[in-house]
Structure 1
Amino acid sequence: MFQIVWIVIVGLVLGVLAKLILPGKQAIPIWMTILLGILGAWLGDGVAGWIGVRNTNGIDWIRHALQLAFSVALVALVAPLWVKGRSGPHGGSGRPPTNAGWR
């Protein structure tokens, strides 16, 4: 159970740092920020293991840098798509307008 809490905390930290690093406002909800941070951590950890720097003596700076880099890249890719998808032909609600007041 504690591992899940830790994963969410790491995702939150990486996602927020990614949003701070990128210029402008990233209009994505907090759950998306956490999800992208978790995904960035997972991808960064995988690449760190692939290149042989997952576990080093002391702090794993390269692994953490890779995790942050993947988080930044994911937020940079997803944020514009999120805004574009939310401002579609139905005014951003995702639902067509109702004609309840028209008779």
Structure 2
Amino acid sequence: MEISGVISAIVIGIVIGVLGRLVVPGRQHIGILWTIVIGIVAAFIGSAVAAGLGVADTNGVDWVEWLIQIALAAIGVAALSRARLNR
């Protein structure tokens, strides 16, 4: 992966993390850095899942891939927030 690919993955991960955080209702007990990390991980895993399902490379915007990534980010944000709250 080239440096431009890594930078774009980080930027997309930030967007995915923020959108995932907005989907989760209530207050989350994690910082913005954790949100970004979760978003980046969700973006990579979501891309792999979408590729496995055959919906990653379509003409136009890959809405299904974005929905998978946002759902994974929301699950990650909720799980980490709950884990940090129960400490």
TM-score, normalised relative to structure 2: 0.86
Offset of residue 67 of structure 1: 0.7
1:11 maps to a residue whose letter is: G
Unaligned runs of 5+ in 2: none
The structure whose Rg is larger is 1
Partner of 1:51: 53
Provide the identity percentage: 35
Question: Alpha-carbon deviations, 1:29-81, whole Å to 9, x = none?
Answer: 11110110011111111111111111011111111111111111111111111
**Number of residue-to-residue matches in the alignment:** 85
Answer 1 or 2: which has greater helix percent.
2
Please give the residue correspondences for 1:1-103 in structure 2 after superposition, counting only pairs within 5 Å. 1-85=3-87
CA distance in 2, matches of 1:74, 1:48: 17
| Structure with larger RCO (C-alpha < 8 A, sep 6+) | 2
